[in-house]
Amino acid sequence: MSGADLKQAAERMAKRKEILKQPVPMRPDEPENIKLSKAEFIAKRRAEKEEAVEKEKVWAEHKAKKLTHPAIAEEGEIKEVKKAGRPKKVE
């Protein structure tokens, strides 16, 4: 490679860097996203994703609790469960 080739390659690289620095137009999901900067938009998306993950965790825990019955012990033995409430009224 000669000095001219290196100079041209450096110019092309400088042009690529300028292109990469330009902001990318985003398609907004909501009208309010148009007013947000890119950093704010990314932060908002990250918060939404974290919230969705948290909801999934809570739902999985709820589902796991719902599937286990209080009458069954950890060893698999059945315990006696007292029913809450008052007895039926006898007339």
Model pLDDT for residues 37-78, shown as the tens digit of each residue: 888 888 988 998 999 999 999 988 887 776 665 555 455 555
Q: Is residue 53 part of a domain?
A: yes
Contact 48, 55 (CB under 8 A): no
16, two tokens: 């690529």
Q: Is residue 75 part of a domain?
A: no
Q: Is residue 76 part of a domain?
A: no
Q: Is residue 63 part of a domain?
A: yes
Q: How far is CA 8 from CA 14, 20, 24, 77, 79, in A?
A: 10, 18, 26, 80, 82
How many CB atoms are located within 10 Å of the residue 44 CB?
Answer: 14
The β-bridge partners of 78 are 72
Q: Show the domain range for 49.
A: 27-69
Using a cut of 0.75, tell me whether the model's pTM lies above it: no
Check whether 33 has a pLDDT greater than 80: no
The β-bridge partners of 72 are 78
**Number of domains present in the structure of the chain:** 1
